[in-house]
Structure 1
Amino acid sequence: MEQKAKSVSPFSNESRNNYVLEHLTDSLLTLLAQKPIAEISISELCDLAGVGRTSFYRNFETKEDILKAHIRHLFQGWLKEWKSKPDLPMDKLVYQVFSHFEENRAFYSLVNRRGLIYLLKDILLDLCGFDPEQDVVSAYSSAYAAFFLYGWVEVWFRRGMRETAHELAGYLKAGQTV
């Protein structure tokens, strides 16, 4: 009986999955620059990414899930630093959050232009430590902080991101409104 050499992929499962995630994300951003998310089909997205539909559905349920994952990825480095300073005053938190948005302006401008800013809500809730199982005061306090940030972010995006992170933090610290 003749034995054949095993065919082994040069990529580990993790590497292959990272390849799929990266290509789906890049392809979705390319397509979003051209048209609204509702006009992008899963087949079109997968064709551009060079991956099968099965790869999409193995990782995501919706196209929006790709953007949520990308936003979480963008926030990861910043989040580690922030969690090391849990008692950060709100004006410093606002400065850091808006600095993050400034650093990733092209991506967030695209998200805003396509009406997908609502995808930030859950991430900001997580960022502010919201958990519905918390005690009453903690749950409402963290929700207050998250929705405060979300409101400022949405208004800032709608205004064209004109103010700097430093200016916005200053408005908060001074008790002023924009």
Structure 2
Amino acid sequence: MNEKSHNPISLRSRRMISQALLQLMEEKPFHKISIKEITATAELVRKTFYRNFQTKEDVLKEYITELMKEAEQQFESLDALTPYAMANIYFKFWQKHRHFLKLLQQNDLFVIVLKQLDDYVPFINSRYKSDLIQEFDDTFIEYYNVFNTAGIWHMLEKWISRGTKETPEQLAQIYSDITLNNPNNKTLKK
């Protein structure tokens, strides 16, 4: 898809479309929602939808990307970019959006989060971990990114499936222990 317009009218229309889709997902399954329903709920014409998106999935992709950008801003406040600190921000952020994640899961759309993370994690790693990964070749970095992406995504999915029983801090500790290869630390006691 072409680069999105940043003019205020286009931004407003895309937000209205996103909100309309999310509202409709509260009422019915994703696969039963039509573009016509989305535009009617958003009080826009179909042409506006297609000027901004190709599919309903594109609406969700953009919404998730915007959420990820919001989470990224919190990384900038960290003094130390440890696995624990970054995962703690990540899980605290998604805890606030767990209802949205549950909607995705109920509609078998959670994989869209993975696809967006696949695009976003390399940027995050190059921006915040460049000093740690600069000595490695491109092949290593590519596999490093997909390994981390899949792991953090599966943790998020499992957490949502389990009803977000664990705290973000507990999950951040688990992620940190896995990342730092510290299996002797017993994070969750039975």
137-146 or 76-85, larger mean C-alpha shift: 76-85
Q: Give the Cα separation in 2 of the matches to 1:78 and 1:22.
A: 18
Query: Aligned runs of 1:20-169 on 2, under 5 Å?
Result: 20-82=13-75, 88-129=81-122, 135-169=138-172
Q: Give the Cα separation in 2 of the matches to 1:123 and 1:30.
A: 21
Question: Residues 79 and 127 of structure 1 are in contact (CA less than 8 Å); yes or no, is this contact kept in structure 2?
Answer: no
Q: Give the Cα separation in 2 of the matches to 1:22 and 1:99.
A: 23
Post-superposition offset of 1:177: 8.0
Post-superposition offset of 1:144: 0.8
Structure 2 runs not aligned, ≥5 long:
1-5, 126-136, 178-182
88-97 or 26-35, larger mean C-alpha shift: 88-97
Identity between Structure 1 and Structure 2 (%): 27
Q: Give the Cα separation in 1 of the matches to 2:114 and 2:57.
A: 13
Question: Residues 46 and 53 of structure 1 are in contact (CA less than 8 Å); yes or no, is this contact kept in structure 2?
Answer: yes
TM-score by length of 1: 0.81
Structure 1 runs not aligned, ≥5 long:
1-12
Question: Residues 95 and 168 of structure 1 are in contact (CA less than 8 Å); yes or no, is this contact kept in structure 2?
Answer: yes
Q: Give the Cα separation in 2 of the matches to 1:34 and 1:105.
A: 17
Q: Provide the aligned length of Structure 1 versus Structure 2.
A: 164
Q: Give the Cα separation in 1 of the matches to 2:67 and 2:57.
A: 15
TM-score by length of 2: 0.76
Secondary structure in 2 matching 1:88: coil
Larger Rg: 1
